[in-house]
């Protein structure tokens, strides 16, 4: 899409972090924006901020892990603006960490429910409309964790590898169908967001008696927090995404820190050698 003014964008996970930055950027080029998030208390002020800046915005509380909730979001967009032209399936959680055998079923269900099924439900809800109008763009937020396999991040890695292949498969299907709908796969490194505080949104029914193991252990937690505080601002990622949509570009990576890790993994596949990812995901920035 070359001209976004007057068109409509839907962003999940839009109350904070990258999602909010996406919504701000889209509103800034004249788009109507629907903000979707499970955190109602944060969603309202986020919408008010964009509206105060002159944006046309609608806030819709949404649980992306629930198919009916995503269909409600789609219907709200249709009723408010008549259609949707840009969908950012961005909502995500860090999920349970630690050795694979210690990660509980609840942690798997929660992480995959948001990070994987949030994308699946978004595609089911919005792609038919976009294909019918033969116009639009889908942005799927994956991660460098979808291109590497660092230890102690099992559920998150699985969900992000799934996000990458969903984006690739959807792209291939749309090309095969000669559709004008585009796809972008966003694979950010560390960005200054609150994803490290994801536990605040874990549903009670998926909460364990014992606290979940963090993705980063106690020995590295201060470095992890410091890294996040000095990481790339979400607004910079939003500008990269906006450019990719306008250029109809598939891949977006936010920095070069993981290039060597990604190349090493690809070489191990080509050469039938053992996978290379060891240490922590922070090592790429050392």
Residue 146, pLDDT score: 97
d(CA 178, CA 16): 35
Domain extent, residue 146, equals 8-285
C-alpha gyration radius of the chain = 18
Residue 3 in domain: no
Domain with 75 in it: what CATH number?
3.40.50.720
Q: What is the value of pTM for the model shown?
A: 0.93
Residue 199, pLDDT score: 86
Q: Contact at 8 Å (CB) between 123 and 113?
A: no
Q: Contact at 8 Å (CB) between 199 and 212?
A: yes
Residue 278, pLDDT score: 75
Residue 229 in domain: yes
Residue numbers in the chain where pLDDT is lower than 70: 211-230, 286
Residue 255, pLDDT score: 86
Catalytic hit among 81, 156, 171, 285? 156
Residue 96, pLDDT score: 82
* Cα separations in angstroms, 80 against 44, 91, 257: 17, 22, 41
Residue 277, pLDDT score: 72
Please list the residues that pair with 253 across neighbouring strands: 187
Residue 2 in domain: no
Residue 213, pLDDT score: 63
Residue 1 in domain: no
Please state, as a whole number, how many other Cβ atoms lie within 10 Å of the Cβ of residue 272: 6
Residue 17 in domain: yes
Residue 216, pLDDT score: 56
Place of tokens 């800046």: 53
User: How many domains are contained in the chain?
Assistant: 1
Q: Catalytic: 156?
A: yes
């Amino acid at each position: 899409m070359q001209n976004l003014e007057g068109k409509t964008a839907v962003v999940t996970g839009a109350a904070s972090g990258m999602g909010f930055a996406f919504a701000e950027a889209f509103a800034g080029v004249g788009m109507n924006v629907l903000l979707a998030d499970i955190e109602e208390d944060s969603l309202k002020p986020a919408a008010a901020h964009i509206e105060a800046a002159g944006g046309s915005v609608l806030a819709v509380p949404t649980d992306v892990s629930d198919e009916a909730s995503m269909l409600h979001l789609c219907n709200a967009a249709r009723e408010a603006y008549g259609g949707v032209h840009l969908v950012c399936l961005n909502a995500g959680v860090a999920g349970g960490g630690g050795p694979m055998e210690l990660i509980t079923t609840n942690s798997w269900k929660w992480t995959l429910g948001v990070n994987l099924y949030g994308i699946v439900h978004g595609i089911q809800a919005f792609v038919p409309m976009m294909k019918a109008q033969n116009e639009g763009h889908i942005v799927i937020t994956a991660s460098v964790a979808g291109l590497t396999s660092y230890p102690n991040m099992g559920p998150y890695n699985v969900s992000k590898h799934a996000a990458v292949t969903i984006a690739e498969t959807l792209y291939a299907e749309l090309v095969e169908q000669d559709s004008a709908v585009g796809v972008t796969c966003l694979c950010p490194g560390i960005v200054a967001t609150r994803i490290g505080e994801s536990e605040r949104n874990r549903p009670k029914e998926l909460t364990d008696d014992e606290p979940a193991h963090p993705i980063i252990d106690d020995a590295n937690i201060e470095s992890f927090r410091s890294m996040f505080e000095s990481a790339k601002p979400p607004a910079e990622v939003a500008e990269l995404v906006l450019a990719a949509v306008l250029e109809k570009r598939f891949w977006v990576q936010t920095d070069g820190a993981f290039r060597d890790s990604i190349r090493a993994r690809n070489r191990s596949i080509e050469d039938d050698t053992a996978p290379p990812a060891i240490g922590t995901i922070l090592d790429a920035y050392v």
